[in-house]
């Protein structure tokens, strides 16, 4: 139940695609395996979760015991969702959008590109957001209620000692770990590149206002690979699915109206609202990206090289990270990425760490995340060899394990209570 303190833990650790409940399009009514309160669990949903769990844990997807356990987990989530609705637990649209975007970015990193994600799911990225937004909302509501129930639980020193005395012979060996910090910087496009992209967007906007065909210009000039071939058409979408700048522009338009140039993190957009039904809009756009020139990247590499030299000359790495790093999740922590198991590091990041000795700082390395990238330098603060767990050396780890056991027992008791209060039927 611990939260990661950095998006970089997500991109440096091996990611999985958990959290988007079903691949491909939403299934037809193909058989109900359970009814929980007002919710149902479809056979296709169970099949997909079994396949996903088997893939993640390297298990046999045909194992009947695995299928039973996955169904139990799905039932538990539906029970908690039912209770959360009774308790009026809610999450905001922004929370849902941020979490969905994070999951999609993880998928893009796993599969290599947003086009590959669209191939696997059989729909556009915008369609994925639309299809799975309700599932994500439910998942976040479930997690929020769990946090409310168990997030404040604590264990005492006596609890930790008792846990250690009871389980010390069965606790697995602690794997090799590394404690890391980094300074991350994103190349900023030059004013020249920005001006060139804006000029192209402005000329296209002038052409549109002189009567040019929007779809034809989108096919020829738009740099959005997901929509250019269809004339820039993004299909129907609900409020909350677009980045804020794009969404504000869309909902200010009248049907058939064309926006001024709108700048987002992706570049310059020209947007046309085709139709609107309440909070649903049908839009198309032309995207002109702002290119990163090699000189932009080079300037970041030079800056990171100089920061590395300062740190090696005695300036505290944490002080430099607080001033220069653009990783908002670790900047105020002095670039601290925490202590990570070596076998959990993503291969390219592991290769960087393996070049370092304790106290050394890497040369600038490129880091990709979602559709973006940046460069960072990595500081290996400590390296802990694999070892048998010790009460003195691994107290925090043992404390977390004891707390997890306490939370799990309380969770099981709560689930049993919910089963006695909420309608539940599992089909034979």
The pLDDT tens digits for 325-341 are 999 889 999 999 999 99
pTM of the model: 0.63
pLDDT (mean) for 159-169: 95
**Model confidence at 360: pLDDT above 60:** yes
pLDDT (mean) for 301-307: 97
Q: Distance (Å, rounded) from C-alpha 83 to C-alpha 422?
A: 8
Report the 10 Å Cβ neighbour count for 404: 16
Q: What is the pLDDT of residue 27?
A: 43
pLDDT (mean) for 180-199: 92
**Model confidence at 70: pLDDT above 90:** yes
Asked if 177-187+293-384 and 191-288 have one fold, the answer is: yes
Q: Which of 1-15, 65-79, 326-340 has the weakest average pLDDT?
A: 1-15
**Model confidence at 358: pLDDT above 80:** yes
Q: Report the share of the chain in percent with pLDDT over 70.
A: 91
Check residues 119 and 198 and name the one with the higher pLDDT: 198
Contacts of residue 198, defined as CB under 8 A and 6 or more positions apart, other chains included, come to: 261, 268, 288
Q: What is the pLDDT of residue 112?
A: 67
For the chain, which residues make up each domain, given as ranges? 7-152, 177-187+293-384, 191-288
The 3-class SS string of the chain reads: CCCCCCHHHHHHECCCCCCCCCCCCCCCCCCEEEEECCEEEEHHHHHHHHHHHHHHHCCCCCCHHHHHHHHHHHHHHHHHHHHHHHCCCCCCHHHHHHHHHHHHHHHHHHHCCHHHHHHHHCCCHHHHHHHHHHHHHHHHHHHHHHHHHHCCCCCCHHHHHHHHHHHCCCCCCECCEEEEEEEEECCCCCHHHHHHHHHHHHHHHHHHHCCCCHHHHHHHHCCCCCCHHHCCEEEEEECCCCCHHHHHHHHCCCCCCECCCEEECCEEEEEEEEEEECCEEEEEEEEECCCCCHHHHHHHHHHHHHHHHHHHCCCCHHHHHHHHCCCCCCHHHCCEEEEEEHHHECHHHHHHHHCCCCCCECCCEEEEECCEEEEEEEEEEEEECCECCCCCCCHHHHHHHHHHHHHHHHHHHHHHHHHHHCCEEECC
Q: What is the pLDDT of residue 371?
A: 62
Q: Distance (Å, rounded) from C-alpha 97 to C-alpha 90?
A: 14
Q: What is the pLDDT of residue 338?
A: 93
pLDDT (tens digit, 9 = 90+) per residue, 375-389? 999 999 999 999 999
Query: Architecture of domain 177-187+293-384 in CATH?
Result: Roll (3.10)
Q: Which of 100-104, 330-334, 382-386, 412-416 has the weakest average pLDDT?
A: 100-104
Which residue bears the tokens 């290119």? 291
Q: Which of 109-113, 349-353, 379-383 has the weakest average pLDDT?
A: 109-113
Q: Which of 219-233, 335-349, 366-380 has the weakest average pLDDT?
A: 366-380
**Model confidence at 10: pLDDT above 60:** no
**Model confidence at 255: pLDDT above 60:** yes
Q: Distance (Å, rounded) from C-alpha 397 to C-alpha 389?
A: 9
Report the 10 Å Cβ neighbour count for 273: 20
Rounded to the nearest 10 degrees, what angle do helices 317-324 and 294-312 cross at? 150
pLDDT (tens digit, 9 = 90+) per residue, 19-48? 444 444 444 446 899 999 999 999 988 988
Q: What is the pLDDT of residue 121?
A: 75
pLDDT (mean) for 348-374: 90
**Model confidence at 370: pLDDT above 70:** no
Contact status, residue 426 vs residue 36, Cβ threshold 8 Å: no
Q: What is the pLDDT of residue 171?
A: 93
In a 13 Å sphere around the CA of 30, the CA atoms on its Cβ side amount to 10
**Model confidence at 52: pLDDT above 90:** no
Q: Is CATH 1.10.4030.10 the classification given to domain 7-152? A: yes
Check residues 262 and 103 and name the one with the higher pLDDT: 262
Q: What is the pLDDT of residue 411?
A: 95
**Model confidence at 5: pLDDT above 60:** no
Report the 10 Å Cβ neighbour count for 138: 20
Report the 10 Å Cβ neighbour count for 227: 22
- Residue 263 pLDDT class (50, 70, 90 cuts): very high
Q: Distance (Å, rounded) from C-alpha 289 to C-alpha 270?
A: 12
**Model confidence at 4: pLDDT above 70:** no
Return the structure tokens found at 388. Answer: 């048998």
Q: Distance (Å, rounded) from C-alpha 261 to C-alpha 271?
A: 8
Q: What is the pLDDT of residue 428?
A: 65
Q: What are phi and psi of 287, to 5 degrees?
A: -110, 130
Q: What is the average pLDDT score of the chain?
A: 88
Q: What is the pLDDT of residue 7?
A: 34
Check residues 29 and 297 and name the one with the higher pLDDT: 297
For the domain 191-288, what is the CATH code?
A: 3.10.50.40
pLDDT (mean) for 90-114: 80
């Amino acid at each position: 139940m611990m939260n990661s303190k950095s998006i970089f833990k997500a991109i440096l650790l091996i990611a999985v695609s958990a959290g988007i409940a079903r691949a491909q399009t939403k299934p037809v009514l193909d058989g109900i395996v359970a009814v929980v309160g007002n919710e149902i669990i479809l056979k296709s949903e169970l099949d997909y979760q079994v396949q996903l769990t088997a893939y993640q844990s390297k298990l046999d997807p045909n194992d009947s015991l695995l299928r039973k356990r996955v169904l139990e987990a799905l039932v538990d989530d539906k029970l908690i969702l039912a209770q959360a609705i009774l308790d009026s637990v809610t999450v905001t649209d922004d929370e849902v959008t941020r979490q969905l975007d994070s999951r999609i970015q993880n998928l893009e990193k796993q599969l290599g590109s947003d086009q590959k994600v669209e191939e696997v799911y059989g729909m556009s990225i915008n369609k994925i957001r639309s299809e799975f937004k309700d599932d994500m909302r439910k998942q976040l509501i479930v997690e929020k209620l769990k946090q409310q129930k168990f997030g404040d639980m604590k264990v005492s020193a006596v609890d930790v000692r008792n846990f250690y005395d009871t389980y010390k012979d069965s606790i697995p060996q602690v794997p090799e770990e590394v404690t890391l910090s980094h300074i991350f910087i994103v190349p900023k496009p030059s004013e020249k590149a920005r001006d060139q992209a804006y000029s192209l967007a402005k000329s296209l906007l002038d052409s549109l206002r002189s009567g040019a065909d929007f779809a034809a210009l989108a096919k020829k000039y738009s740099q959005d690979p997901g929509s250019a071939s269809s004339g820039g058409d993004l299909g129907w979408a609900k409020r909350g699915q677009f980045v804020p700048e794009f969404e504000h522009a869309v909902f200010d338009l009248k049907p058939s109206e064309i926006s001024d140039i709108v700048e987002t993190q992706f570049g310059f957009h020209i947007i046309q609202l085709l139709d609107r039904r309440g909070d649903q809009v049908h839009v198309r756009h032309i995207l002109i990206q702002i290119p990163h020139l090699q000189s932009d990247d080079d300037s970041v590499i030079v800056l990171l090289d100089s920061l590395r030299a300062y740190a090696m000359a005695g300036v505290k790495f944490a002080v430099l990270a607080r001033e220069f790093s653009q990783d908002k999740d670790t900047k105020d922590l002095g670039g601290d990425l925490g202590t990570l198991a070596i076998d959990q590091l993503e291969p390219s990041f592991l290769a960087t760490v393996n070049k370092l000795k304790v106290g050394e700082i890497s040369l600038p390395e490129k880091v990709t995340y979602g559709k973006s990238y940046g460069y960072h330098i990595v500081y290996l603060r400590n390296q802990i060899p694999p070892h048998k767990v010790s009460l003195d050396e691994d107290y925090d780890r043992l404390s977390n394990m004891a707390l997890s056991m306490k939370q799990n027992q309380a969770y099981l008791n709560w689930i049993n209570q919910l089963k006695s209060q909420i309608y539940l039927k599992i089909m034979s």
